[in-house]
């Protein structure tokens, strides 16, 4: 598990919990933004939060829109 995936995962969880969202609620918000792309599942989001998997740049853009933040806000976790 890379340091970048750990930092991004931590930031995802921080944003989700600040909104009082479950993984399911985040998955729904992201799926609305993703449209017809493959679904954002609770399992996938959990793997990103825990760090075994890392979202692609296109996934980060969808996550940012789902949270209503700029993608730089998610990326800053990796640069910290």
Q: Could you give the CA distance from residue 19 to residue 37 in angstroms, rounded to a whole number? A: 24
Give the Å distances, CA to CA, from 37 to 1, 62, 73. 26, 10, 23
pLDDT of residue 23: 96
Mean pLDDT across 1-20: 88
Which pair of tokens denotes residue 49?
């939060």
Domain count, the chain: 1
Give the Å distances, CA to CA, from 5 to 20, 32, 33. 22, 24, 22
pLDDT of residue 80: 53
Q: Could you give the CA distance from residue 73 to residue 28 in angstroms, rounded to a whole number? A: 20
| pLDDT tens profile 65-77 | 999 999 988 877 5
Q: What is the CATH number of the domain that holds 73?
A: 1.10.260.40
Determine the structural domain holding residue 56 and report its residue range.
Answer: 3-79
Q: Whole-model pTM?
A: 0.84
């Amino acid at each position: 598990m890379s340091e970048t995936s750990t930092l991004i995962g931590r930031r995802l969880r921080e944003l989700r919990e600040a909104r009082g969202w479950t993984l399911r609620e985040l998955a729904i918000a992201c799926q609305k933004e993703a449209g017809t792309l493959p679904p954002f599942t609770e399992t996938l989001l959990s793997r990103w939060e825990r760090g075994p998997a890392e979202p692609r740049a296109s996934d980060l853009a969808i996550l940012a829109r789902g949270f209503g933040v700029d993608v730089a806000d998610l990326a800053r976790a990796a640069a910290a």
